[in-house]
Amino acid sequence: MKSRLLENERDPMGQAIRDYFEKGRAGRLRVFSPQFDEDEMPVDMLFRSEKQMSALERKALSLCGGRVLDVGAGAGCHSLVLQANGMEVTALDISPLSVEVMRRRGVKWAREADLFDDSWTGCFDTVLMLMNGSGIIGRLERMPLFFRRMKQLLSPGGYVLMDSSDLRYLYEDEDGVMDIDLNAGYYGEMEFSMQYKNVKGDPFGWLYVDFATLSYYAQENGFRAELLAEGEHYDYLARLSVG
Ligand code: SAH
The answer to whether 4 and 117 have CB atoms below 8 angstroms apart is yes
pLDDT digits (tens, 9 = 90+) for 24-74: 999 999 999 998 899 999 999 999 999 999 999 999 999 999 999 999 999
- Residues 147 and 168: their CA atoms lie apart, in Å, by 24
Which atom number of ligand 1 is nearest to the Cα of residue 17?
A: 13
Instruction: Using the atom order of ligand 1, give the atom closest to the CA of residue 48.
Output: 8
pLDDT digits (tens, 9 = 90+) for 97-140: 999 999 999 999 999 999 999 999 999 999 999 999 999 999 99
Of 56, 49, 53, whose CA–CA distance to 80 is shortest? 49
Q: State which of 95, 97, 112, 132 you would mutate to test the pocket of ligand 1, scoring each by most atoms of that ligand within 8 A of its C-beta.
A: 95
Rounded CA-CA distance 123/157 in Å is: 11
Res 81 pLDDT > 50: yes
Residues with CB under 6 A from ligand 1: 13, 46, 71-74, 77, 92-95, 98, 114-116, 130-131, 136
Rg (CA), the chain: 17
Q: Tell me, in angstroms, the distance from the centre of ligand 1 to residue 14's CA.
A: 10
Residue 178 Cα, ligand 1 centroid: separation in angstroms?
30
Interval between CA 232 and ligand 1 midpoint (Å):
23
Q: How many angstroms is it from 69 CA to the middle of ligand 1? A: 12
- Ligand 1 atom with least separation from CA of 45: 8
- The overall average pLDDT reported for the chain is 95
Quickly list DSSP for 14-77. HHHHHHHHHHS----EEEEETTEEEEEE-GGGGG--GGGS-HHHHHHHHT--SEEEEET-TT-H
Cα–Cα distance list, 241 to 119, 127, 167, 192, 215 (Å): 23, 10, 24, 29, 11
CA of 93 from ligand 1 middle (Å) equals: 6
Residue 154: Cβ within 10 Å count = 22
User: What is the per-residue pLDDT for 176?
Assistant: 79
Identify whether the C-beta of residue 228 lies closer than 8 Å to the C-beta of residue 46: no
Task: Note the pTM of the prediction, 2 decimals.
Answer: 0.96
- Predicted confidence at residue 1, as pLDDT, reads 44
Mark residue 51 as left, alpha or beta (left: phi above 0; alpha: psi -120 to 50; beta: remaining).
Answer: alpha
CA of 157 from ligand 1 middle (Å) equals 25
Q: What is the C-alpha to C-alpha distance for residues 38 and 192, in angstroms, rounded to an integer?
A: 10
- Nearest residue (by CA) to ligand 1, atom 11, is 72
Instruction: Using pLDDT thresholds of 50, 70 and 90, give the confidence band for residue 3.
Output: low
Q: Which residue spans within the chain are E strands per DSSP?
A: 29-33, 36-41, 67-71, 88-93, 109-112, 124-129, 154-165, 189-196, 199-200, 204-207, 223-230, 235-242
